[in-house]
Amino acid sequence: MTELTVGAESMVTVAIDNAIATITLNRPEKRNALSMAMVTELQAAFSELPATVKAVILTGAGNHFSAGLDLSELKESSSGENIEGSMLWYEAFRRIQFGRAPVIAVLHGAVVGGGLELASALHVRIAEESAYFGLPEGQRGIFLGGGGSVRITKLIGFSRVAEMMLTGHVVDAKEAHQIGLAHYVVKPGEGMKKARELAEKVASNLPLSNFAILNALPLIAEQPMTHGLFTESLMAAITQDAPEAKERVNAFLEKRANKVVPD
């Protein structure tokens, strides 16, 4: 296990175990509220991962995943500074979402505001039963500013996001699973075990397949049908041509590979 230090304040920690990195939001005394410095550290944590890392687990220290934007930074900020703040978040989350390594989130306690915006940029979401999801921006008199109006609406639809923001409706882990916000719900304390199990599967995929899943799939979803099908055919052709893919296909045909079986 290798520990990487990112940034002077260590609000984000990184531990690397072979192909899997665990990145932890580490500001539990402020419930992992995301300050600009912390978002910058988070981006650095992902950017500095060695190429040997094939999957990442992201979680939060303490009883909560993240309380969202560090509201103390809004006290005296101007409109210009607020826009710059959003841009900083967009760039950090873009790098995470479209990076080389798929990210598995372990969510517990509060996953609210910007914490939910961060979770929506990740690829697999595991909710422990303690997790709850909210968008208190409506109550705070502000708006989404970390990409949530694009990403969360794509996950659960505009109407649900509007209702959560208008009424302050807090979604529990079970409902999050039902509406597609969480892929898995597990007992308290079991999130990391499940994440590890999934991360090992993700890391065993060919890098080009994972690249296509992270980068081509969301792009295709935004394209008109004819463009989407064309993009898909190109990505399919490139992945299918790789010698490593040919070997995996042959392994199945020669009965050397696992069959698909129910979980």
Shortest distance in whole angstroms from residue 151 CB to ligand 1HE: 12
137 catalytic residue (yes or no): yes
Could you tell me if 59 and 105 are in contact, meaning their C-beta atoms sit under 8 angstroms apart?
yes
Cβ proximity to ligand 1HE, 89 vs 211, nearer residue: 89
Nearer to ligand 1HE, 99 or 113 (CB): 113
62's tokens: 């303490």
User: Nearest to residue 168, comparing CAs of 136, 214, 143?
Assistant: 136
Q: Which is nearer to ligand 1HE, 69 or 216 (CB)?
A: 69
Count Cβ atoms within 10 A of the Cβ of residue 145 and give its class: 0-12 exposed, 13-18 middle, 19 or more buried: buried
* Nearest distance, CB of residue 110 and ligand 1HE, angstroms: 4
β-pair partners for 133:
111, 171
| Active-site residue flag, 41 | no
| Cβ-proximal residue to ligand 1HE, closest one | 113
| Set 9, 29, 84, 117: catalytic member | 117
Strands (E), 122-260: 124-128, 132-134, 171-172, 184-186
The least CB distance from residue 205 to ligand 1HE, in Å, is 32
Which positions lie near ligand 1HE, rule CB under 6 A? Answer: 30-31, 33, 64, 67-72, 89, 110, 112-114, 136-137, 140, 142, 145-146
- The 8 Å CB, 24+ separation contacts for 133-136 are 133/164, 133/170, 133/171, 133/172, 133/176, 133/181, 134/110, 134/164, 134/168, 134/169, 134/170, 134/171, 135/161, 135/164, 135/165, 136/68, 136/112, 136/168
**Residue 61 Cβ vs ligand 1HE, minimum distance, rounded to whole Å:** 13
In the complex with ligand 1HE, which residue's Cβ is closer, 16 or 164?
164
Q: Which of 3, 9, 137, 244 is catalytic?
A: 137
> Which residues does the annotation mark as catalytic?
117, 137
